[in-house]
Structure 1
Amino acid sequence: MKKAGTSIFRYISTTNITSYYALPIALFNSQTCSGLLPITYMNDFKSTCAQPVNEQICLDALNPAKYDNTLCFLTNPETLISDNRSFICCNGPSTPSTWTGSTCSNALRTLTMTIFYLNPTGIVSCSIILNTTSGTLNNAIQQTFTVRFIKNGSIASTTLRSGNPGYIQGAPIIAGTSNGSYIDISDFTILQASTDRSCSDATRIPIRFGENVQSMCLFSPIVFEVCPNQTNLPNIFMPFNSFNLYVAAYGNANPSNITGYWLPVTYCIFEIGSSNEPVCQQGSIPSSSTNQCYIRLDIQIAYANIGSVTNPQPILGAVVFHYQSVTRTYTTTLTTPLLISQSVTFQDISNAPVTQGDQLPRPNVRIP
């Protein structure tokens, strides 16, 4: 039986080699990723540290493939002494980082791992969400590593609850990507400008129920940088590397119960100044007939109040991402910063409440 606090073992099936699974941390009051901490069973983990950018680190510590390529775990350390070891593997592999000139592209920025367990079996499944960015020589990229342990079939944690069942005013909107059987929950945020008005590595603004927000920042070009296009849109506008995005309709939605409780996002694309109508599609972004450079994302969230007038329960009914582009083709290399804007708007689509008065029924009789 796997006990809380015991080490997690990474397993390479091709060589039958096991090792402690550890992730980077900062040591001795330094912000640099200078150490590794072993991950232990049923103990959540979060670490934020900075990686200096050079060619060696780009192809190693900043390489997403290092963290999810052929990543497997032993379900239970008791199988270490067995010739028939039981193990499970996470999703992957990812696209590796590359070094060109003085730029590290597709460098790992965040890793969010969810490990599902069931005692006494141990680990039963796992998934990873990776977000990437770019960095230049002699600068640093801040990395965040998060590991969450979730009992199989249960909601991730009470901190993910934003209401019961309806959303509470100001509570975070719950969202994540689907792997077909459950939702990998991650922060639902929009871009925020840093002190120099840049979009890169800035603290993001969380999307909270009932709070309309708008943000603008400068997408600063680096070597070989091009306009935001349909390939890199998820990594630029949203903290997800996939369009397979779902939003919880209820404030206490279960990530392992998708149908009826999670809303697939509807994506619309529109060219600014065009006379054509927006093209919309649910579950994935519509293919564009021309190469487009996207500069704006407006998120519209519709909800309705259910229940009594004195205790309304806001339930989400639809989430629409409106992407807007300009005529510049996405292959155009940027030479000046590009102004990017995002907004979030909540729309109440509730029917007017119906009041039932306490009146005596009218008699319905006839005189013979």
Structure 2
Amino acid sequence: MVPVLTVLLVWAGGVRALTASLNYFIAPRTVSLGDFSALSARYSGASFSPAPESNPAVPASYKAGDPIFTISPGGTLGQLRQPAAVGDSSVCSFSNPARFLASGTTSCLRVINSVSGSCQADPTLGTQYYYRNISVIGANPTGTVITSQSVPIISLVTDTPILQGGSCNNVVSQVSYTVRYNGTAGIVSVAASFTLVNISGTSVSLVQSFGVLYESVSSVAPGTVRSGNPGYLVGLPVLSDAGPLLVPRSVGGSCTSAPVGFGENTLSACAIRGTGAETCGDLATRAYSTLLGGKLPQAVATVGNTVATQSGQWVPIIYQNCSNQPPGNCTSCPVPVSLAIHILWANVGQLSNPQAQVLGARFQYRCQLVQVCCPLPAPQASCSLPGAVL
């Protein structure tokens, strides 16, 4: 160690060192452009700057819980998204990834401040946002994404939102991905299906649902949705030959649909809007369809793990339609305004392990003469009538 001579002066203001190297208030050195790099390399250290972004590593084969990677035609990597609710307001976050073998459904709220402005401008309201130009990386055995096995997402629904008058038609309310995989060989196909609704008004709130179902190519009945094994479990959807039983529900004043939960008594209602282009018969037909959630089931599964090919596990639905009504006109139109769904069930099997089984189902309509708004002054004008489900 080399000794350093230090001279201390005691004065009225305290003690002061005369050694310049110990004076922390010495004038700093001026750094020129020429020696900046050398000084930076010598004295630089860690900082709070974000780390440089790098492409995520795509695994050779997916494991349970891994995010599903996608690739665009231009080679941009991404992830298959399953939007979910965040915060107390349950608004949609599109950053939530779908995870391998994690079948499930998420729901969240979309607040649309301007229906006319967002109808065709907001891509998340249309079907193409969820499948067009998106290929899922099925596997990456070589470790090189360029040569990876890409699987395009296929959709039979290609309708896009269209603004008609004050209504935005073909808006996505439900997205369902069916992902088929073959063990360690990875994902072999991805299909997308959609439920579309019409929304109207100045500002509405729309509930969107996003589901992912994983099925093995070696499974006996791929894609079968279960609501119990074998008996129904309370809260899970009642199954029909057209899928889960659906009933209408109101979102932002418009009709959307929700599944009927086994063992749950519910009451919901929504408004069906007619337009000037619809006749009384057209409006009545649309009301029937809306009350059934857009489907026309003919049978209900007796147990929660019913297989579609086993006829003995289905009971026919008893429909009680409205009695014959006189033909409607502009001031008196017979329209179904409510649907009462009655599910008859019982516990069967051993007392120690009873299984809930559906014995019968009845759909009972109630109609009334409704005053409609025709003739309407313009094609875009609309009127509404109440609809309810018991």
Residue deviations 1:107-166 (CA, integer Å, cap 9, x gap): 122223343434212224444443333333541332323233434238999x9544x433
1:4 — aligned with what? 64
Is residue 298 from structure 1 mapped to residue 340 from structure 2 by the alignment? yes
Aligned to 1:93: 157
Residue 121 of structure 1: aligned partner: 185
- Corresponding pairs, count: 307
1:207 and 2:261 aligned: yes
Deviations 1:193-233 (A, max 9, x none): 78x9x66469x684323x5x463635153766967554575
Q: 1: distance between equivalents of 2:101 and 2:132?
A: 23
SS in 2 for 1:120: helix
- C-alpha distance in 2 between matches for 1:70 and 1:249: 41
5+ residue gaps in structure 1?
179-184, 276-290, 344-368
Q: Is the 8 A contact 1:103 1:223 kept in 2?
A: no
Q: How does 1:140-289 map to 2 (within 5 A)?
A: 140-152=204-216, 153=219, 161-162=227-228, 164-167=229-232, 170-175=234-239, 188-191=245-248, 200=255, 206-209=260-263, 213=265, 215=267, 217-219=269-271, 221=273, 228-230=283-285, 233-234=288-289, 236-239=290-293, 241-243=294-296, 247-251=300-304, 253=305, 258-260=309-311, 263=314, 266=317, 268=319, 270-274=321-325
* 8 Å Cα contact 1:191-1:215 kept in structure 2: no
For 2:111 and 2:349, how far apart are their aligned partners in 1?
Answer: 50
Q: CA deviation at 1:311?
A: 6.2
* Structure 1 residues 5 and 342: alpha-carbon distance in aligned structure 2, compared to 1, 3 A threshold: closer
**Distance in 1 between the 2:339 and 2:214 partners?**
33
| Cα distance change of structure 1 residues 242 and 127 upon mapping to structure 2, 3 Å threshold | farther
Instruction: Mark the structure with the bigger radius of gyration.
Output: 2
Instruction: Check whether the contact 2:70–2:135 (CA below 8 A) recurs between aligned residues.
Output: yes
The structural deviation recorded for 1:38 is: 3.4
1:107 aligned residue: 171
Paired with 1:34 and 1:312, the residues of 2 have a C-alpha distance of 41
Q: Does the 8 Å CA contact 1:72/1:89 hold for their aligned counterparts?
A: yes
Evaluate the alpha carbon distance shift between residue 174 and residue 55 of structure 1 in structure 2; reply closer, same or farther with a 3 A threshold: same
Give unpaired runs (5+ residues) of structure 2.
1-60, 327-332
Q: Take 2:92 and 2:131, find their aligned partners in 1: how far apart are those partners?
A: 19
| Cα distance between partner residues in 1 of 2:373 and 2:318 | 22
- In structure 2, the residue matched to 1:361 is none
Q: Structure 2 length as normaliser, TM-score?
A: 0.58
Pair 1:4–1:84, CA change in 2 (3 A): closer
Q: Is this contact kept in 2: 1:220–1:338, CA < 8 A? A: yes
1:339 aligns with 2:381: no
Question: Structure 2: how far apart are the matches of 1:10 and 1:126?
Answer: 11
1:38 is paired with a residue whose SS is coil
Query: Residue 119 of structure 2 corresponds to which residue in structure 1?
Result: 58
Cα deviation code 1:271-311 (max 9, x no counterpart): 44549xxxxxxxxxxxxxxx974323232434466445786
Compare 127-136 and 308-317 and name the one that shifted more.
308-317
2:130 equivalent among 42, 57, 67: 67
Between the aligned partners of 1:264 and 1:331, the Cα distance in structure 2 is 40
SS state of the match for residue 231, structure 2? coil
Structure 1 residue 98 displacement after superposition: 1.0
Identify the match of residue 200 of structure 2 among 124, 136, 141.
Answer: 136
- Give RMSD over aligned pairs: 4.7
Question: Aligned partner of 1:58: which letter?
Answer: C
Q: Which amino acid is the alignment partner of residue 49 of structure 1? A: L
* Identity within the alignment, %: 15
1:113 touches 1:126 (CA, 8 Å); kept in 2?
yes
Question: 1:190 & 1:82 partners in 2: Cα distance?
Answer: 46
CA distance in 2, matches of 1:7, 1:309: 43
Give, in angstroms, the shift of residue 96 of structure 1: 1.9
Q: SS state of the match for residue 22, structure 1?
A: coil
- Provide the rounded CA distance (Å) in 1 between the counterparts of 2:334 and 2:69: 45
Structure-1-length-normalised TM-score = 0.61
CA contact (8 A) 1:249 1:317 kept: yes
- 1:225, 1:298 → 2: CA distance? 29
